[in-house]
Amino acid sequence: MSDRGVGPNMQHTVALRWIHPKYWGRTFALAVTFLSIIPVPTLADVSQQELRHSVTWYPWVGALLGGVAFVVQGAAGLVLPPLPATGLALGVYTLLTGGLHVDGLMDTADALGSRHNREAALAVMKDSRVGAMGVLVAVLLLGGKWSALAALPTRDLWAFVAVPTVARMALVWSMTLAPSARPQGLGAFYARGIGRKVVGGAAVSTVFLTFLPGLVGKSAGDNVWMCTVALWLLTAGLTLAFTHWMTRRFGGMTGDTYGALNELVEWSGWLLVLACLKLPG
């Protein structure tokens, strides 16, 4: 990986990159590569600046993964009952992420469950071995997601796209809120290292991707707009609370805690969608 840096004489060049379609394609491919195992062309001479700018596309990758799960559920639902069809869709969805976020959740759960001091807990988090607490939390989370999605109406585009989208936006927000818990690693690279344009671009994308599917697949009936706003508020609240908790416990965020945040927002988001179904409208 090369680091081309952004000096005073390169600001004009950097501004031009932001509006160049090829640059969009490269940064989108980087986001897909990092957040999933979906094959994309291999990129050469990737800069640190491009990696940070790729964060703009995180909500789009979430929407892409959710859209794939939506298609799988719809196709499987033609020959299977809702429960196994949803299980297949969730399985494909999780596999396409490479288990990245679930792995982070398990490592974070093990670190929290260790009850050690900060340094020792971070060492537990970094350990590749998974403990009982991590397995337990992962089983509960995946089971919760499965039951929530299976209870949704079939052909539910809004829930499948909106929830994974805001979950990736939560990562972007968290990167701006807290320092890294370690001097090296994924958290150190992204924590407070992305600019306002990146955050703004991701936020605009999230608004578009969460409100547009409401016109097509209204899982919450006439309440879809209110529920979309509620989903945003839930995501913001969880991001603030979780990031604050991790900062107090570990001194900042890590790659694992980012993954845990993603999983927490997804689970809570799909539960919120179910709650919206109970509202009159």
Q: What is the pLDDT of residues 139-189, one digit of tens each?
A: 999 999 999 999 887 666 888 999 999 999 999 999 999 999 988 877 788
Q: Is the dihedral of CA 165, 243, 230, 156 positive or negative?
A: positive
Query: What CA–CA distance (Å, rounded) separates 209 from 63?
Result: 7
- What digits encode the pLDDT tens for the residues 10-63? 443 444 454 556 778 899 999 999 999 999 888 888 888 889 999 999 999 999
**Would you report the helix, strand and coil content of the chain in percent, each value rounded to 5?**
75, 0, 25
Q: Could you state, in order of their start, the residue ranges of all structural domains in the chain?
A: 14-278
Q: What percent of the chain has pLDDT over 70?
A: 87
Res. 102 pLDDT band, cuts 50 70 90: very high
Residue with tokens 């690693």: 185
pTM of the predicted model, to two decimals?
0.89
Residue with tokens 């989370």: 141
CA-to-CA dists, residue 30 to 15, 33, 133, 240, angstroms: 19, 5, 32, 26
Query: What CA–CA distance (Å, rounded) separates 257 from 105?
Result: 7
Q: What percent of the chain has pLDDT over 90?
A: 65
Helix pair angle (58-76, 82-96), 10° resolution: 150
pLDDT at position 105 over 60: yes
What per-residue confidence (pLDDT) applies to 6?
A: 40
Query: What CA–CA distance (Å, rounded) separates 100 from 261?
Result: 12
CA-to-CA dists, residue 142 to 70, 131, 187, angstroms: 17, 17, 25
Which amino acid is residue 265, in one-letter code? V
Mean pLDDT of 204-227: 74
Give yes or no for a contact between 226 and 272, defined as CB atoms under 8 angstroms apart.
no
Give yes or no for a contact between 101 and 263, defined as CB atoms under 8 angstroms apart.
yes
Residue with tokens 């397995």: 135
Query: What CA–CA distance (Å, rounded) separates 16 from 1?
Result: 22
Mean pLDDT of 260-270: 97
Give yes or no for a contact between 188 and 254, defined as CB atoms under 8 angstroms apart.
no
Query: What CA–CA distance (Å, rounded) separates 59 from 62?
Result: 5
Which amino acid is residue 164, in one-letter code? P
pLDDT at position 1 over 50: no
